[in-house]
Amino acid sequence: MRLLDYFLRAPRRNSAAVAKERLQIIVAHERSRASAPHYLPLLQKDLLEVVRRYVPIADDQVTVTVERTGDCEVLELNIALPDKPTRVEPRPPLAAVPAAVAETVPPERAPGLEAAPRAADASVRPGRRRRSHRR
């Protein structure tokens, strides 16, 4: 009866490949979280406060992650700025390029990473532009 099965069965979906792909994603994610420095949430909170002095943003608009590539740890800050200029009076040099603030910040070593044995880069990427939902 296998002969009949062979011709009648639906195209086989390879569930092992799906499992492997899902595992690779979740395992990579959990490893990065487990190895992330403990000060990351505090750093995120402080950054949020600093950015809020100039631009009103929501809690989830600053993300801080550490990625490890080989011997190098890369601290990635992702700050999403609203499109419209804000009503808050920004300081003059920042007012000129509100959306590109992130880009003008020179890469700096994050405090605390100084002590880390591995080389650490802080790269700041310009935020995804989100339309703000303010009235």
Partner 1 sequence: MAVVVVVTSGKGGVGKTTTSAAFGAGLALRGHKTVVIDFDVGLRNLDLVMGCERRVVYDLLNVIHGEGSLNQALIKDKRIDDLFILPASQTRDKSALTLEGVEKIIDQLRQRFEYIVCDSPAGIERGAMIAMHFADEALVVTNPEVSSVRDSDRIIGMLASKTRRAEREEDPVKEHLVITRYEPERVDSGNMLSAADVQEILAIPFLGVVPESESVLIASNSGIPVTLMNGSDAGQAYMDIVDRFLGEDRPHRFLEAPKRGLLSRLFGW
- Judged by the rule CB under 8 A, the positions of this chain that interact with partner 1 are 1-3, 12-17, 19-20, 22-24, 26-27, 30-31, 34
Residue closer to partner 1 by CB (options 28, 100) is 28
Q: How far is the CB of 76 from partner 1 (least distance, A)?
A: 22
Q: Are 89 and 98 in contact (CB under 8 A)?
A: no
Nearer to partner 1, 33 or 109 (CB): 33
Q: How far is the CB of 65 from partner 1 (least distance, A)?
A: 18
Name the token pair of 117: 């044995």
Task: Round to whole Å and give the CA distance between 99 and 80.
Answer: 9
Cβ closest to partner 1, residue 26 vs residue 119: 26
- Minimum CB separation of residue 37 from partner 1 in Å reads 13
- Tell the smallest beta-carbon distance from residue 58 to partner 1 (Å): 32
User: Cα(35)–Cα(128) distance, rounded to whole angstroms?
Assistant: 26
- Going by C-alpha positions, the residue among 54, 116, 96 that lies closest to residue 79 is 54
Host H or E run for residue 74: strand 72-79
